[in-house]
Structure 1
Amino acid sequence: MAKRKVQRRARKILGEEPVALVWCEIHKPIPLPPKEVHRAAGKGRLKPGHHWLLYVGAVVFFFVVVPMILIDKLGKKIDQGLGSRREPHRQTPRERNRSGPQRSKPDRGFAGARADDPASGVFDGDWDLTAGRLLLRWYSHSPNPKRLVMLARDRICVAASPRRRLSPTRADDFRPVAEFPLDAARIEGAAGQPRGFATFRIHFADGSWLEVGRLGEPEDADHFLRTVSA
């Protein structure tokens, strides 16, 4: 459950007690927009920022772990080469069967396969509508992927913290980045979704929609989904 200072900050932003609130994220990578659209929107970042420890870990992996793996594989290859020189390899019946002529199997394809969704299920796919424009600015407001969606009696507010790292239960420096009256946006989500897989969609008046997931704090998520599904 969100701590008191999170609730207090939400009340200050909304000017009233929030009906429901939940931390959430874009649970899939943001699809790549056309270059001219991205340029016109200011070429903002489309990926979240990472903590410096991640970069340290990557350096250690490539310069320490990878060389050790390669050295180990090279040693095994040398051992195998020396062993094959000492004793000629005798083919087993299974190997003889495998080396025989093989019949090529027809490629049946995937039953019911469909073309890849260019929007990846993240939004409706139109970058000129409200959801697309919101996505283009998603990480410009904050490199952290988490956003706090707050429901008031007459509007929906999306807030973000400027920090790269935050604790959803304690963060109290978030600020509003987008606000929509209820006649311009509505939220649809089903109650009782499996923990860790729950999502909801924000539908806008122009027909566009945006889907988010990775809902934080189970109690907040359950209350939020019950509220929007009522």
Structure 2
Amino acid sequence: MAKRKVQRRARKILGEDPVALVWCEIGKPIPAPPKAVHRAAGKGRLKPRHHWLLYVGGAVFFFVVVPMMVVDKLGDVLNGQTSSGESGTTRNRTAGSGRHGVEDPTRGVFDGDWNLTAGQMLLRWYSHSPNPKRLVMLARDRVCVAASPRRTLSPTQADDFRTIAEFSFAEARIEAEAGQPRGFATFRIRFTDGSWLELGRLGEPEDADRFLRTVSA
């Protein structure tokens, strides 16, 4: 559960105790907007910045693990050359039978209209903070979205977050179901202009459960 310093900071921002709050993220990569729309919004970042250790891990994987996988795969190829003719015939028989699904260009992240509220929020999402985590706070009459300026943070102890967006209940509402499986739970912020934004990767199980119960009541 969020520590006292998080609750204290939330109370200071809202001017009252939060009804519910939860740390969350956009569960999937932000889809690429049209270039003109992105440029008009200031060409902000569309990806989070990661801790330097992640880049070190990536370098180790690329220069150590990948070569080992290539060598192993090469051995498999050399051993399986004798059966290449048969496998080629099988591929030719089945090539025409597959179906190609149509990929959702929004990836289920938002409604797809970059000019509406949700799309405009996405265009500036990582301009407010390089960290992917956002704190959604419910007051008695409004929804607040806050972020920490730091690249890394502890959701239970972060106390430097600030409001990046605020909406009255007349402008936005939260849609969710209670009892969703932990680790897979999501919710949507739906705006009165018809746009919506889906958030997931909910942090702190107690906060997540209380948040979902509150918005689904």
Same fold (TM over 0.5): yes
TM-score, normalised via structure 2 length = 0.89
1:19 paired with 2:6, answer: no
Q: Secondary structure at the match of 1:128?
A: coil
Structure 2: any 5+ residue segments left out of the alignment? Answer: none
Once the two structures are aligned, what percentage of the paired residues are identical? 76
Cα distance 1:12–1:71, how it changes in 2: closer, same or farther (>3 A)? same
Normalised by the size of structure 1, how large is the TM-score?
0.84
Q: How does 1:24-35 map to 2 (within 5 A)?
A: 24-35=24-35
Q: d(CA) in 2 for partners of 1:66 and 1:193? A: 37
SS of equivalent residue, structure 1 residue 104: helix
Specify every segment of 5 or more residues in structure 1 that has no aligned partner in the other structure, as ranges. Answer: 82-90
Distance 1:100 1:172 in 2: 60
**AA at the equivalent of 2:93:** S
Instruction: Write the distance in 2 (CA, Å) between the matches of 1:24 and 1:174.
Output: 13
Note closer, same or farther for the CA distance 1:170–1:71 as it changes in structure 2 (3 Å cut): same
Q: Does 1:205 align with 2:192?
A: yes
Residue 60 (1) aligns with residue 60 (2): yes
Instruction: Give distance in 1, aligned partners of 2:141 and 2:63.
Output: 55
Structure 1 residues 98 and 109: alpha-carbon distance in aligned structure 2, compared to 1, 3 A threshold? closer
2:9 corresponds to which letter in structure 1?
R
Instruction: Return the match for 2:124 from 137, 143, 149.
Output: 137
> Which residue among 206, 220, 223 is the counterpart of 2:207?
220
Helix, strand or coil at the partner of 1:219: helix
Q: Secondary structure at the match of 1:140?
A: helix
Query: In structure 1, what is the Cα distance between the partners aligned to 2:197 and 2:18?
Result: 21
Change (3 A) 1:73 1:207: closer
* Structure 1 pair 2–101 and aligned structure 2 pair: CA distance change class (3 A): closer
CA distance, structure 2, for counterparts of residue 213 and residue 63 of structure 1: 33
Equivalent residues in 2 for 1:96-115, closer than 5 Å: 98=86, 104-105=93-94, 107-110=96-99, 115=102
SS at 1:132's partner residue? helix
Structure 2 CA distance for aligned equivalents of residues 68 and 117 of structure 1? 35
Which whole-Å CA distance do the structure 1 matches of 2:116 and 2:136 have between them? 20
Q: Name the SS for the 1:107 alignment partner.
A: helix
Aligned length: 214
Q: Which has the larger radius of gyration?
A: 1
Q: Distance in 2 between matches of 1:153 and 1:22?
A: 16
Q: Which whole-Å deviations, capped at 9, do the CAs of 1:126-159 have from their partners, x for residues lacking one?
A: 0000000000011111111000000001110000
Shift of 1:57: 1.8
Q: Distance in 1 between matches of 2:211 and 2:136?
A: 9
Give the match's secondary structure for 1:166: coil
Which structure features the higher share of helix residues? 2
- Alignment partner of 1:49: what SS? coil
Cα gap change, 1:5/1:100 in structure 2, threshold over 3 Å: closer, same or farther?
A: closer
Give the partner amino acid of 2:96: D
Q: CA deviation at 1:65?
A: 3.5
The answer on 1:154 being equivalent to 2:154 is: no
Rounded to whole Å, the distance in 2 between the matches of 1:177 and 1:101 is 58
Shift of 1:200: 0.3
Instruction: Give the alignment's Cα RMSD to 1 decimal.
Output: 2.7
Partner amino acid, structure 2, of 1:192: G
Q: Tell me how far apart the structure 2 counterparts of residues 148 and 50 of structure 1 sit (CA, whole Å).
A: 18
Alignment partner of 2:128: what SS?
coil
What is the alpha-carbon distance in structure 2 between the residues aligned to residue 152 and residue 99 of structure 1? 62
